[in-house]
Amino acid sequence: MAQCEMCGAETPSPKTVKIEGAELEVCDDCAELGTEVQTQDASSTSTKYSTSSSSGSDSSSSTTSGGSSGGGGSRRDMFDEMDTLVDDYDQRIREARESGGQSQEELAKDLNEKASLIRKLEHGDVLPSDEVQRKLEHALGIELDADGDAGEGDWESGDASEGLTLGDMVKRKD
């Protein structure tokens, strides 16, 4: 005699039932709590589609395969569209704000954000949302997107970029 995996009662003929995503061998009383899974050849060849057998195996397999590739495609698209933040975003924000002669409170007021957010960003405690990142880039004239090649933008923006050396671009802290 087998034992019910739900209540522990001994049952002569357990039923395979799917309860909240788990397939269990249960007694007749506990079988009412889930949906019975067919254990014939159809489900043994593909247990992946056993839960959607009510809509037909052909339509569920095409829907599931299309859904998984579509889901994978949409997930990939989501990450492709995400901006990659530069590693030193906190230093860039602080240096740009200080070079503009603004306090954290003044910058926050200009951006319509809280001063505590600016403090957290400058300390590297928080990553800026896409909206805040765009506001900071516009207000401070900096590039925080790692894919944007911020270094190239700095070189191209100079009037006399021809003949500049690395020493011309480095700001020393003495």
Full residue range of the structural domain in which residue 133 is found = 89-149
The answer as to whether 168 is a domain residue is no
When divided into structural domains, the chain yields a total of: 2
The answer as to whether 76 is a domain residue is no
DSSP type of residue 173? -
The answer as to whether 102 is a domain residue is yes
Q: What is the CATH number of the domain that holds 103?
A: 1.10.260.40
pLDDT in tens, 19-64: 888 888 889 889 888 888 876 554 444 444 444 444 444 444 444 4
User: 0.85 cut: is pTM over it?
Assistant: no
CA–CA dist 94, 140 (Å, integer): 10
pLDDT in tens, 77-130: 555 556 688 888 899 999 999 999 999 999 999 999 999 999 999 998 888 888
Distances (CA, A) of 116 to 90, 144, 165, 172: 14, 20, 38, 29
Banded model confidence at residue 172, pLDDT cuts 50, 70, 90:
confident
DSSP helix, strand, coil percent of the chain (3-state; round to 5): 55, 10, 35
Higher pLDDT among residues 138 and 63, named by residue: 138
The answer as to whether 52 is a domain residue is no
Q: What is the pLDDT of residue 96?
A: 92
Q: What is the pLDDT of residue 163?
A: 73
